[in-house]
Structure 1
Amino acid sequence: MSTIDYAKARELMVEQQVRPWDVLDPRVLDVLSSLPREAFVPAPHRALAYTDIPLPLPHGERMMKPVVEGRTLQGLALDPHDTVLEIGTGSGFLAACLGRLSREVVSLERHADLADTARAQLAAQGLANVNVVHADALAWETTRRFSAVCVTGAVDVIPQRFIDWLEPGGRMFVVRGRSPAMEAVLVHNEPGQPRIESLFETDLPYLAGMAPQPAFEF
């Protein structure tokens, strides 16, 4: 069996998938070009680390497609002073990207085994500024406020508690709506009423507890 040239695959992913989808932020492209995505992919699917598909994780979770990760990072427009709250660590790859682009990341993961695996991979990449917390975002409490919130699963309706975790002037990336026509948006925490900026259309699995309530027919 031939070994995969992951560095070459990573370069092709950036040039043939991510860039053509209007991800042009040099810092984002640099992170995606340098972080070994394959290190975060479960072993059975590692050969697919740079393909344009979502990849399965334990508990029915999924890694976003690389293009969606790229657009997410570009939309947040992080700077090196920002603090970030990620909701849904999953593999830890997006947390690693966020860690490279910001000062500090707190990442919530409701599955203890996924949290442990992500911590190990983040440590292996030397990312000491990413703290993975085993917690459910719908029950977690904190008095901290963050420059940015990154939600890695879809919501039917954006929960107020997520907005409350933003500093004044902060922004949140979240995908909302009903499959298959969901909308990725940036929520700007502005005085009075949050402002919502549409970014692109996509389709993601719902965060646990965030799917639409089933409609009852009488």
Structure 2
Amino acid sequence: MKRDALFNMIEQQIRPWDVSNPAVLKLLHDLPRAGFLPASHQAFAYVDTELPLVIDGVDTGTQLLTPRVVARIVQAVDVQKNETVAQVGLGDGYMAALLARFAKTVTVYELNETILHFAQRNLNQHHVRNVNYELGDGLKLSTEKFDVLVLAGSVAHLTHTMKQRIHVGGRLFAIIGTAGAPTMHAVLVHRVGESDWTQEVLFETIAPALTQSDTRPTFVF
């Protein structure tokens, strides 16, 4: 039954949303989302809706991105085996696990210690070993640069400091918009030179704000 639900998610939600990369589609099949959710929500793992992250019966106030949005992000950033990735906002660890399968390393930043430990247990149980964990503000914690930076929640705007966190040739994914807006824009930023970036709008969506001190937040992913 669960495998049928997973297959239907991929064929009816993911593929129609312009996710066609064979490696991404295979990974979604090989690494089922249900294994990252609390037992109380596993029945909804393949439903096209945001889910609350409830840990040990306590609602953390975190909303998890839908599977189709996660898949679209992973396809868009197109991580290569020699690349370093940073993800700001950790949630259940599912997206970090997907990114880690393609990356050299993934560094995850999370402000909520309970969420960080929950996701870390999930990743360990799925034998994902190339992840580094940082408890704190991923937008200000360090000046380290990465090949790929994923902001796993919405921000009101992209600052110059955020864009500086990727190497030349690197990519930054973000959902830009404010609470109450009718829609937000998911964008992919490419750093094409030391002082030059390009920005492409990928799709429209709505996502809770990333809880980081740059963004006047309400949620963490």
Report the TM-score when normalising by structure 1. 0.90
- Show CA shifts across 1:14-62 (max 9, x none): 1111001110011111111111211111222111001000110142111
Per the alignment, residue 52 of structure 1 pairs with 48
Unaligned runs of 5+ in 1: 213-218
Please point out which of 190, 193, 199 is paired with 2:192.
190
Per the alignment, residue 78 of structure 2 pairs with 77
Is 1:145–2:141 an aligned residue pair? no
- Partners in 2 of 1:195 and 1:69 — Cα distance? 22
The aligned amino acid for 2:158 is I
SS in 1 for 2:138: coil
1:211, distance to aligned residue in structure 2 (A) = 4.1
Deviates further, 182-191 or 202-211: 202-211
After TM superposition, the runs of 4+ consecutive aligned structure 1 residues lying more than 4 A away are none
- Partners in 1 of 2:9 and 2:115 — Cα distance? 25
- Partners in 1 of 2:123 and 2:2 — Cα distance? 18
- Partners in 1 of 2:140 and 2:201 — Cα distance? 28
2:97–2:123 CA contact under 8 A, matched in 1: yes
Is 1:40–2:36 an aligned residue pair? yes
Is 1:200–2:203 an aligned residue pair? yes
- Partners in 2 of 1:43 and 1:211 — Cα distance? 32
Per the alignment, residue 216 of structure 1 pairs with none
Aligned-pair identity in percent equals 36
> Which structure 2 residues correspond to residues 1-218 of structure 1 after superposition, within 5 A?
5-57=1-53, 58-142=59-143, 144-178=144-178, 179-191=181-193, 192-208=195-211, 209=213, 210-211=215-216
1:163, distance to aligned residue in structure 2 (A) = 1.3
Q: Highest CA radius of gyration, 1 or 2?
A: 1
- Partners in 2 of 1:67 and 1:151 — Cα distance? 16
1:72–1:173 CA contact under 8 A, matched in 2: yes
The count of residues paired between Structure 1 and Structure 2 equals 207
SS in 1 for 2:107: strand
CA RMSD of aligned residues (A): 1.4
1:175–1:184 CA contact under 8 A, matched in 2: yes
1:27–1:101 CA contact under 8 A, matched in 2: no
- Partners in 1 of 2:216 and 2:203 — Cα distance? 20
Unaligned runs of 5+ in 2: 54-58
Per the alignment, residue 56 of structure 2 pairs with none
